[in-house]
Structures are given as C-alpha cells and as structure tokens.
Amino acid sequence: MSAAFELRGLTAAVPGEKRAIRLVEDVSLSVHAGETLAVVGESGSGKTVTFTSSLGLLPKPGRVIAGEALLEGVDLLKLRPEELRRTRGARIGMVFQDPLTGLNPVFRVSEQITEVLRAHLPISRSAARDRAVELLTRVQIPEAARRVDDYPHQFSGGMRQRVLTAMAIALGPRVLIADEPTTALDVTVQAQMLDLLGDLRDADGMAMVLITHDLGVVARQADRVAVMYAGRIVETGTVAEVFAAPRHPYTISLFRSIPDIEAPTGTRLTPIAGSPPDPARRPEGCAFAPRCFAVSDAAGCRSVRPLLAGVGHAASCHRQSMLETTA
Amino acid sequence: MSTLLEVADLQRSFGGGRTLFGRPRPAVRAVDGISFTLARGETLGLVGETGSGKSTLGRLVLRLIEPSGGQVRFEDKDVIGASPAALRAMRPRMQMVFQDPYGSLDPRMTASDIIGEPMTAHGIGRAESARRADALLEQVGLSRAMAARYPHEFSGGQRQRIGIARAIALDPSLVVLDEPVSALDVSVQAQILNLLADIQARSGVAFLFIAHDLGVVRHVSDNVAVMYLGRIVEIAPRDMLYGAPRHPYTVSLLSAVPRPDPAKERGKARIRPIGEIGSAAALPSGCRFHPRCPRARLVAERGGDTVQAAGARLPSICVRQDPMLAPPEGGADAARSTVSASGSRATVHLAACHFPHDD
C-alpha cells in the first residue's frame, strides 16, 4: 500500500550570516491511511518546521532547499501556489496547539466553518450552516445547534480545540496533522481530545500525524513514532519496538528523564546534560554527541554524521552495535 | 519534625460587586476554605487543573496577595495579621519561584544582580552579596563566569536555575514553587528536579510544589493535595494518594495521565470525568465535582435517594451537601498510623467525598 503522506529527504533552511542555517535536514517519513505517526522531539528539534515547510507554510525567509512532500503521490512542493492552497485546505487538515490563534475572535464559529466550506464547495449558505452543526456534533460539542452561533471566547480551551478539529475535518481530508493538540489542555480534557482524534481517524480512515513532546501521548495514541533531535530523525520504528527497546542514546535518555507515575519512588532522575544546540551552531558529526552518555571519539561521533540505519526500527548512532550488546 | 507552615480555612474571592451596567457580578471563590500543614524540610505537592485555585493558594500563603479570610502561621508567627515591618522581617525565610523563566527575571539586570538583589534589600553589602551570588551560581550548577550575563543570554533551564538561586539566597525555610518545570523540555526538567532535591537535602528547606503534572508531583512530594474548584478534595502521603486514591476526581486524574508504556496504555480501562472543570464563579451545589463525577452516576444506579441533576441521575447527597475532608470510615486509626515518606510524621488520608473509593 502506498503512503497517504510521505516526505523524502526534506531539508528546509533560513539564510544565515555566512551560509544557510538548516532547520530540518534530510527528513524522510511516511504515514498510511488509518494509521497514526507520532513525531516526538523537544523545542527546536524541527518537528513543527518539518510539517509547515512541507505544506508551503514556512514563514519567509525560510524555504525548502531539497526533498519532496508527497500527498497520495503528488509532490506538494511542485504545485503552483493556488493549487497548493486548494489541496492543503481540502485534503490535509491541520490542528495546532493554541486553540485561540486558529480562530478569529470577531467572527461567530458558524461563520468561520461556513467560510471554509464555501471556499471549497459549491454549496449554499444555509446548507453550509447545516453542515457546520453536523461537524460540531461530530466533534462532540454539546448542543451544537445552539452553540454554532457563539463566538470563540464563549468556548473553553478544550471546546475551542474541538471547533478547530471540526474545521480541520470539514472537507474530509486524507491526512490530519495535529501539532501538540493537547499540550494546552488539562489532563482530563486531553484524554477526551485524544479519544476524539482516534475516533475520527478510524471513522474516516485518515492518516494522522501527531506532533508531540509527550511520550505518554505517543504510547497511548500512535502506531509508529519518529524521534527528532536537532533537525533530524534520530530514531524511527513502531511504537511497540521503540518503547520496548529504544536504540538511540537520545531516546534512551528521554525515557530515563521522565518522572513516570508508576516508577519506583525515591529514585533519582537521569537528566540529559546541557541543552539542545542552536540550529546555527549544531556540532560537527552527531548533533547529540556533546550530551551523549555513549559518545566515543574512536567511533567518529564528533566528526562523522551518523546515518539512519536499520530496516523498520532504525536509529542514527555510530555506537549502535555497542548499545545493542550492552542493552 | 516540627510544623513550619499552618494554613487554616484560607479564602480568597475575586470580583463581586456590580458591572458597569449595575448588574451584580458573581464573586469568584478562587480559594475557598483551605487547611493544611507543612513540616520543616518536607515537600507538599499541590496538583489541580487550570482554575482549581492552586496558584492563588501559593501566593496567599506568602501573602503576595491578601486573603479574604483564614489564617496562615509560618514559623509560629501570624502571617496574615503581620504588620508591613513584621512581614518584611519574615520575607527572607519564605520565597517563591515562578513558572515562567522568561518573564520572571528583569532583563536589564545581570545574573549576579538578580541573585544578589534580595540580599542587598535585606541589608547585606553589595560586595558581600556579589560574592555570595557567585557561590550560589555554582550551587545551582552554573559557573561564576556567567555572573555578568543578562537573562536573554541564558537558556530556559539556566534561567530557572537563576530564579532558584535567587529564591535560596537568604537561606529560606520555605520556598513556594509555582509550576517550576512546566515550561521546560523533559530532559532539562529532570535537571531542575534533581537540583531541587539536592538543595532540600543540603539545606532542609520545605517546598510547596504547585504543578499540574502528576508524575512530577509524585516524584518530588512527601505529601500531596489535590485541588478542585478552590478546595482540597484529597490530601495524603504520596504513596497512599497515588497507590489508593479515594476521591473520584483523583482516580479520574490518575487514570487520564498517558504513560510511556504502550502495552499498559492500550489495555487500560479509563475512568473518565464527564465534561470540563467548571467555573469558580458559578460553583455547583453540594459536592463541586458532582456534575462531572463518574462514581456518583454509578452509585445512583445502585438505588437509594437520588435526584435528577447535571443531566443525570445522581445521589441526592452529592447534589445537596458539601462533603468535608474526612478519613476512611473505621479505618481512621490504620490510616493515622501510616508514616509519611520522611518517616517522621503520621498523616491521615483525607478525602472530601460522600462515596469515596474505600472498598
């Protein structure tokens, strides 16, 4: 089966003082219909830029300098601006972290949803409004017919995120990209939102990309995972594989640094020393080497960029063989 | 260990009065009758969702905002009734660390000035303050060479270290930490949590640790209090609260936390509260959690005296009567004999629920 959405060697950069600063480098990933791919990383890892740049939404002066972004086989990066705009709205839905920025505060929710519908479909105002109520019902907003005429500020954070989700699925997209959709929400509301996203994916057979920093959300929701660090994918595989036996030292360290609610108490966390590198000053060789517990000069960690190696469960680390034998 | 902080029936309302057009405006009861004690050298974790009143409570305890009622005793002195001079004399002993490592440091001051300011404000000379600031920088894992840098030259984690250095500069016995790691990436968050543990082990400072992350709170706390709409609904030693939660809200919270274990996450039966946290401006009658409570619905199905409320059939008592914090029935003595994590103090497992999970 071919992927619903696929990135091949995507590289995006902004101009720097001497040369271009690469925000994301050589990112390849794919997600199939009915499947959820989680993209995990810390701030500045490039997880959001990967998707904004592949959809032509990277703010200037950033631009894609290499790679392809294939939606059901069509390279979005080769489309003319108008074609890209139409494709993006209709066939790729997006939900972002902050539910306030995605909604215009001066328009009623009904106006904002009907605008999306009427921009893409030849339907009347009243038919669009009926469809808006249906969509709000689908995202489980209570009393949708009454609330459709409310303004965004009249909804709670969790309800606003549902309104945005309704807009994202309004045109029946094949791919839904959710960027930290639950980070601003409280934990009980987060659980409700994750259930909703899973239900919508299953009902419509959408391919879903879930961008998150929370490994708990990945474990709960995703089928496969790509771990990003300093603009690159450093490990990828099924959620079961990566969580059972993480192979990249960064992934291993992330697991050790989480205070889990069922871990033995009284233990000390093992933090990762230092902080992630500035994109303009990424180290030579492996970008994680300065923070890595397994770093070795002999293995070339500080001089040679490691490649993502492995079939299925892959990791980019010079010391893979050592990690596997000591694990 | 002796009691450091005693909070009794603390209250704070905001607003009220009338709107511009003369309509009465509902008062928001952000903190509504909170009592607890904190022993020297211990950590009380305070968890709750947005709007639970946990941040307001932290500020009330230090009297950064004035309460509407209630008592706070700190080192056997009355904080609420204290004169400005008396309060000022207490300040070095009770400090605060804020969530936002970007907004809480003055961008025009160097790291050394930021850390030294509380010392100079309390009569320590400039040279001595600067010397101690250097030592504090090293205590929080930064280097003396960074003393002359400005906040924008530091990463988020480093800024939070500066905020902590400033808070411990005058050797306080209490630090209130309001979401101290929630703006940080996980790898950096662990560094700060370890630093706080080291500081506490070395100095014997007590922490009131406010956070929404249940994993973080479990990691740092001796005792934990769960807040909901201005009230503590459950308070207990850490392992009792996480191991055998009694309040349906705590049960729901713990059940909702996604854990980094795919096998357990997939197989988990979730107990889900209905809807979202209400508003402290329009508090539900009876138990504040009744509109969302999954347990009340189950109890009502078993029969007894029920009413129709919040779109469901619920036990009458949940809708009519505000539950008080109470130990398990019959098991109070057993609970009381349980020793807290520090091994020094007996604490009861209290929950404010008419039908707690005691079976």
pLDDT tens digits, one per residue of A279-305: 888 888 999 999 999 998 888 999 999
**Secondary structure of residue A274 in the 3-state scheme:** coil
Provide the residue type at A74 as one letter: V
Interchain proximity B219–A269, CB inside 8 Å? yes
Contacts of B188 in chain A (CB under 8 A): 271-272, 275
**Res. B62: pLDDT tops 80:** yes
**Res. B331: pLDDT tops 60:** no
Residue that wins the pLDDT comparison between A192 and B46: B46
Q: Which of residues 326-345 of B touch A (CB under 8 A)?
A: 341
Mean pLDDT of chain A: 91
DSSP string for residues in B234-280: EEEEHHHHHHS--SHHHHHHHHHS--S-HHHHHHPPP----S----T
Interchain proximity B270–A191, CB inside 8 Å? yes
Q: Is B3-232 CATH 2.170.130.10?
A: no
| Whether the Cβ atoms of residue B230 and residue B32 lie closer than 8 Å to each other | yes
User: Which of B193, B224, B259, B266 should we substitute to test contact with A (largest number of A Cβ atoms within 10 Å)?
Assistant: B259
Tens of pLDDT, residue by residue over A211-221, are 999 999 999 99
Rounded to whole angstroms, the Cα distance separating B199 from B201 reads 6
B88 touches chain A (CB under 8 A): no
Tens of pLDDT, residue by residue over A4-19, are 999 999 999 999 888 8
Give the strand pairing for B43-47 and B206-211.
Answer: parallel
Interchain proximity B270–A269, CB inside 8 Å? no
Among A43, A220, A253, the residue with its CB nearest the CB of B265 is A220
| Whether the Cβ atoms of residue B92 and residue B118 lie closer than 8 Å to each other | yes
Provide the pLDDT for residue B358.
Answer: 87
**Secondary structure of residue A154 in the 3-state scheme:** helix
Question: What is the domain partition of chain B in residue ranges?
Answer: 3-232, 246-351
User: Which of B140, B187, B279 should we substitute to test contact with A (largest number of A Cβ atoms within 10 Å)?
Assistant: B187
**Res. A254: pLDDT tops 50:** yes
Tens of pLDDT, residue by residue over A256-275, are 999 988 888 778 888 898 88
Provide the pLDDT for residue B202.
Answer: 95
B185 touches chain A (CB under 8 A): yes
| Whether the Cβ atoms of residue B301 and residue B284 lie closer than 8 Å to each other | no
**Token pair of B348, please?**
């009861």
Q: What interface predicted TM-score (ipTM) does this complex get?
A: 0.85
Please compute the mean of the pLDDT values over residues B9-31 and round it to a whole number.
Answer: 83
**Secondary structure of residue A141 in the 3-state scheme:** coil
Tens of pLDDT, residue by residue over A90-122, are 899 988 876 667 788 899 999 999 999 998 999
Interchain proximity B187–A253, CB inside 8 Å? yes
B276 to chain A, closest Cα gap in Å = 7
Tens of pLDDT, residue by residue over B299-315, are 999 989 999 998 899 99
Q: Is A5-106+151-326 CATH 3.40.50.300?
A: yes
User: Comparing C-alpha atoms, which of B250, B255, B259 is closest to residue B325?
Assistant: B250
Rounded to whole angstroms, the Cα distance separating B30 from B279 reads 9
Contacts of B185 in chain A (CB under 8 A): 42-43, 213, 275-276
B197 touches chain A (CB under 8 A): yes
Question: What is the domain partition of chain A in residue ranges?
Answer: 5-106+151-326
Q: How many CB atoms neighbour CB B308 within 10 A? A: 10
| Whether the Cβ atoms of residue A248 and residue A227 lie closer than 8 Å to each other | yes
User: Comparing C-alpha atoms, which of A296, A157, A240 is closest to residue B262?
Assistant: A240
B258 touches chain A (CB under 8 A): yes
Rounded to whole angstroms, the Cα distance separating A93 from A164 reads 10
Identify the band that residue A189 occupies on the pLDDT scale cut at 50, 70 and 90. confident
Please compute the mean of the pLDDT values over residues B67-78 and round it to a whole number.
Answer: 96
Chain A: residue nearest B191 by CA?
A271
**Res. B245: pLDDT tops 70:** yes
Tens of pLDDT, residue by residue over B115-154, are 999 999 999 999 999 999 999 999 998 989 999 999 998 8
Among A186, A254, A266, the residue with its CB nearest the CB of B212 is A186
Chain B: residue nearest A245 by CA?
B261
Rounded to whole angstroms, the Cα distance separating A38 from A239 reads 9
Rounded to whole angstroms, the Cα distance separating A272 from A291 reads 6
Please compute the mean of the pLDDT values over residues B154-163 and round it to a whole number.
Answer: 90
**Token pair of A244, please?**
């059972």
**Res. A323: pLDDT tops 70:** no
Q: How many CB pairs under 8 A join A and B?
A: 135
**Res. B342: pLDDT tops 70:** no
Provide the pLDDT for residue A131.
Answer: 95
**Res. A124: pLDDT tops 80:** yes
Identify the band that residue A70 occupies on the pLDDT scale cut at 50, 70 and 90. very high
Tens of pLDDT, residue by residue over B264-279, are 888 777 777 777 777 7
**Res. B338: pLDDT tops 70:** no
Interchain proximity B218–A265, CB inside 8 Å? yes
B47 touches chain A (CB under 8 A): no
| Whether the Cβ atoms of residue B43 and residue B309 lie closer than 8 Å to each other | no
B277 to chain A, closest Cα gap in Å = 9
Q: How many CB atoms neighbour CB B27 within 10 A? A: 14
Residue that wins the pLDDT comparison between B307 and B187: B307
Provide the residue type at B200 as one letter: Q
**Res. B195: pLDDT tops 70:** yes
Chain B: residue nearest A223 by CA?
B262
